[in-house]
Structures are given as C-alpha cells and as structure tokens.
Structure 1
Amino acid sequence: MAKATNALTQGISGKVSGLVFRQNANGSVTVGDAPRPSTKAPSAGTLATRQRFQQAAFYGRATQQDPAQKAAYATGTDTTIQSGYAVAVADFLNAPNITSVDFTAYSGQIGDRITIQATDDFAISHIHVLIQNPDGSIVEQGDALADPDGYTFRYTATAKNVSLTGDKITVTAHDNPGNVTTEQRTL
C-alpha cells in the first residue's frame, strides 16, 4: 500500500481502474490494489450469517417506513450509533438477556411475586411467566409488569399452587424484532 498526500489524491476515495483509494483519519490517502474475489465457496456458517444480516437490514428498513417505530428507534441513537436504522438493525441482531430471576418470594400463594431482571440493547416488549406442575399441567401463566426502571419486571401469582416440589417456572423475554430468551428453573 502506498500513501499519498498531494493535491491529486486529496478527497478521493473508492475504486478507480483496479486501485482502491482510502481516506485516513490524518488526511492522507492510502492506495492499493483492489481485492480479488474469492474462488472458495462460502461455508454454511458464512451463508447463515449473511442471511441473518440481510434479515436485520430488512427489519431496519421496515422500521423506517413506520413513523412510530422510526421515532422510537431514533431515541436510541448516540455518538456511536447515529441513526434509528442502525439501532433497529442492532436490536434485530441481539436477543434480550435475562440477568436474574428471584423466586424467593413465591410460595404458591395468590399475590406472591416473582422478580425478573432483564436487559436488551433497545427495549424488551414483554416478559412471560409460565408455572407448570411436574406432569406438565399448567398452574398459571401471564405477563410480568415492568417497573419504572425498565429492567425489573414483577409477576404476581393469580392461582394457588398446593405443591411446589418439582414445579417448573419458565421465564421468556421478548424484544420488538421477535428475539426470545428463555430461562427455566425447577423448584
């Protein structure tokens, strides 16, 4: 790669006749041969990654067509990510994270609470709680309510659960693009 800092190359960037011109942060221009296309077939993992990025781009463009979503994603911009489109693409690519589930206040009584803390790079749309007996029958299920802090959610029991031994509690966090994270515990 050659470096050029003269009036001829000032401000030029891109591919010109088999050469690639790149603008550097210090104002100089780097010149090199254009990369040659690979002759190797992409692996299955590479193809899956390309498809996932393509879906993320479709989602990002779709959010820009809906004024409400466009405005919502615009609130997530900062000095690093400067467009609502980029925030939407990142949201599509990253699933929510359930950081903790606290069952200590749940004893099977109506009104008992399960506290969940979860985060997402943009926003969690809802958190669902499912309580099942060991045989798979459903004791109860419903959505947890968000606290004002935006990352703590509380589920209040609506049914009496006589025996907790072996019961499964499944917590599922959903974000706007449809990414899902699940955590399951057995009592």
Structure 2
Amino acid sequence: MAESKNNIITHGLSGKVGDIIVFSQRGSKTIVSKAPKERTGEPTEKQKKHIAKFQEATIYAKAALQEATTNDIYEKGAKPEKNISAYNVAVADMLGAPKIEEIDLSQYKGKKGDTISVKVTDDFKVVAVKVIIENADGTLVEEGNAKISTNGLDWIYTTTKENDDLTGDKITIQATDLPDNLTEKEQIL
C-alpha cells in the first residue's frame, strides 16, 4: 500500500481506477492500494463467521458512538496522527475479548478477607472482573466483583465468607470489556 504525501494531483482522490489501483482517504492522507480481486465461489463457513462477526462489530461501533459516554471513551482512544478514529477503536474493541492472563490463588486460604488476584488484559479496556467460588459439590460459596489495582492490570477480589474445605473448590473468573465481550476461566483448588 502506497501513501501519497502533499501531492496536488492525487490529494482528495477517492475511488477505483480501472482494475489496477484504488485511491482512498484516511484522515488527511490519500492512500493508494492495489485493487481487490473479485470474489469467486461461496465463502467458507469460517469466512461466513468472520463476516458476521465484523458486521456485529460495525453495528456495535455505530451504536457506541451515538452514546455520549462511550463516544467520549472511544474518542480518547483514537489516534488521529495515525489515522485511527474512534470508530476504528470501537470496531477493534468489539472484535477482541479480554484475556485472563493469570489467576493468583496463593493468598486464598478460605478465610474472610483473603484475596484472589487476577491479571486481565484487553486491546482497549476491561470494565469488570467477577469472581465465583464454588465448593466441590457445586454449591456457591460466594461471588462478587474484583477491584482494579493501581497498576491497571491486576484485579483484586477480597473474600467475604469463611470456606472451611477448599479441596476440589472451583474458582471461576469472568472478565468483560466495554462491548460486553465475556471471557471465562476456571481453576480447581
């Protein structure tokens, strides 16, 4: 892909020239790229899923930018100098779910006030991390939202109940981002 800088002939050009090149505008730049080939045949199931996911992301981005709060959040993430608009940021955010990188259960001994630390990343912003603690038989011990630590990566959950027998207990972590993409990870004690 070529980029035209301060060219008075191509400045503002947009569209396809024959079957060879395409001019497009991104911010204040004119981009010149190879013309895409015509698609032949039916898309595969994987391609259909990808197309559907991208359509969902564009619908989400358009709706998110209509809301004042989410528009402001995505505008702050935009990088006009790199031609990345708030719309681009919102589409990318919808396409990528949070990643639960690490669950640290070393401080959880079954006592009220113990902590569980979870490292969660996202391409834009993690908005909530929920911790669910269940006994080996599936009965709920407790659940609640973790709080973000000062480093911006770790989420800390402070337990509220006593749990006498940790053997076989299941800890479930649920992380969500701004478009409500949900990632879940379990760990057995």
Shared fold by TM > 0.5? yes
Runs of 4+ displaced beyond 6 Å: none
Match of 1:140 in 2: 142
| Equivalent-residue separation in structure 2 for 1:20 and 1:139 (angstroms) | 64
Secondary structure, aligned partner of 1:57: helix
Q: Which amino acid is the alignment partner of residue 136 of structure 1?
A: G
Match of 1:49 in 2: 50
Distance 1:35 1:82, change over 3 A: closer
Secondary structure, aligned partner of 2:171: strand
- CA positional deviation for 1:55: 0.6
| Equivalent-residue separation in structure 2 for 1:115 and 1:105 (angstroms) | 8
Structure showing greater Rg: 1
Match of 1:90 among 68, 72, 92: 92
| Equivalent-residue separation in structure 1 for 2:114 and 2:37 (angstroms) | 64
| Equivalent-residue separation in structure 2 for 1:175 and 1:142 (angstroms) | 17
- Normalised by the length of structure 2, the TM-score is 0.83
Secondary structure, aligned partner of 1:75: helix
- CA positional deviation for 1:36: 5.7
Aligned length: 174
| Equivalent-residue separation in structure 2 for 1:159 and 1:110 (angstroms) | 5
Match of 2:182 in 1: 180
Any conservation in 2 of the 1:14–1:20 contact (CA below 8 Å)? no
Match of 1:6 in 2: none
Match of 1:171 among 149, 170, 173: 173
Distance 1:35 1:75, change over 3 A: closer
Distance 1:106 1:123, change over 3 A: same
Distance 1:57 1:156, change over 3 A: same
| Equivalent-residue separation in structure 2 for 1:14 and 1:165 (angstroms) | 65
Match of 1:74 in 2: 75
- Normalised by the length of structure 1, the TM-score is 0.84
Q: Which amino acid is the alignment partner of residue 130 of structure 2?
A: H
Secondary structure, aligned partner of 1:164: coil
Any conservation in 2 of the 1:132–1:167 contact (CA below 8 Å)? yes
Any conservation in 2 of the 1:13–1:21 contact (CA below 8 Å)? no
| Equivalent-residue separation in structure 1 for 2:38 and 2:154 (angstroms) | 49
Distance 1:114 1:81, change over 3 A: farther
- CA positional deviation for 1:98: 1.1
Q: Which amino acid is the alignment partner of residue 47 of structure 2?
A: T
Match of 2:120 in 1: 118
Q: Which amino acid is the alignment partner of residue 102 of structure 1?
A: D
